[in-house]
Amino acid sequence: MSTSKITYTGDLRTTSIHLKSGSEIITDAPTDNQGKGEAFSPTDLLATSLGNCMLTIVGIAAKNHSFNIDGTTAEITKVMAENPRRVSEIIVSLQFPTNNYTEKEKAIIERSAKTCPVAFSLHPDIKQEITFNY
């Protein structure tokens, strides 16, 4: 079964529908590539997916090891390169709301984040810079 259906709606915009849930995402071309930049660009979603995946996998690990990461945020910076135009680096800054994690919990957090499926799916030429702020 398909995961999503994408429609090009014109003017460098797409609408994606998640078929199982009906959730919708709109993308626009970025302003530096002839677009309006009124929504995530496809490369923004690529970079953002890394942070989403990290938080999800760390959340699973925290649940399995009986600690909490509720309120944790990830700030994403996407770095583009030219010739060919591509994402060259994704910088992820994870901000944890409390500073009371044990050394074991921090090791679980860091290992989980770095081994999420999106991190493994990105081409090795895309640098992943991850910072953990406890």
Q: Per-residue pLDDT tens for 67-91?
A: 999 999 999 999 999 999 999 999 9
Same domain, 114 and 70: yes
* Residues 6 or more apart in contact with residue 44 via CB below 8 angstroms: 27, 30, 78
β-pair type (24-28, 13-18): antiparallel
Same domain, 25 and 86: no
pLDDT band at 33 (very low <50, low <70, confident <90, very high): very high
Same domain, 16 and 46: no
Residue 97 — φ and ψ, nearest 5°?
Answer: -75, -20
Same domain, 63 and 124: yes
Element (H, E) at 79: strand 73-81
Same domain, 67 and 14: no
Same domain, 46 and 29: no
Query: Which residue's entry shows tokens 């690529």?
Result: 46
Same domain, 50 and 24: no
Same domain, 25 and 62: no
Same domain, 22 and 64: no
pLDDT band at 99 (very low <50, low <70, confident <90, very high): confident
**What residues make up the domain containing 69?**
42-133
- The total number of structural domains in the chain stands at 2
